[in-house]
Amino acid sequence: MTSSTRRASRTEEATSDALTTSVTVRDVPKDVRDELAARAARSGKSLQGYLREQLIELAERTDMAALMAQIEERKRRTQTRLSAEEILAHIHADRT
């Protein structure tokens, strides 16, 4: 299965498995709208379909702020105090 096929499958699942809602974005600059419309056309999608797919992908990405908070909490809980050099040494040891 190609990445575009997986992405299309996720998009279809997201719209068929859950209640959907409408989102309105105001004050989008014309040049931005035109670029997005061109990208949609190049991918053979309507602007709405293209934006829906992009929003779904965005929502599936790891939230870096939440990830960093989890790391900080784990470090606090376990009181991990490894230096960067120690971490790199462990990585190197695992690869050999």
State whether 87 and 51 are in the same domain: no
State whether 50 and 38 are in the same domain: yes
Number of domains in the chain: 2
State whether 7 and 47 are in the same domain: yes
The tens place of each residue's pLDDT in the chain, 96 residues long, gives 555 556 666 656 655 566 889 999 999 999 999 999 999 999 999 999 999 999 999 999 989 999 999 988 988 898 878 888 998 999 999 887
Contact 39, 50 (CB under 8 A): yes
State whether 18 and 54 are in the same domain: yes
State whether 55 and 68 are in the same domain: no
State whether 54 and 78 are in the same domain: no
State the residue range of the domain holding 40: 3-60
DSSP state of 61: S
Packing angle, helices 47-60 and 3-17, rounded to 10: 90
Can you give the pTM of this predicted structure?
0.56
> Which candidate, 65, 60, 44, places its Cα nearest to that of 6?
60
State whether 13 and 48 are in the same domain: yes
Long-range contacts from 25-28, C-beta under 8 angstroms, 24+ separation: none
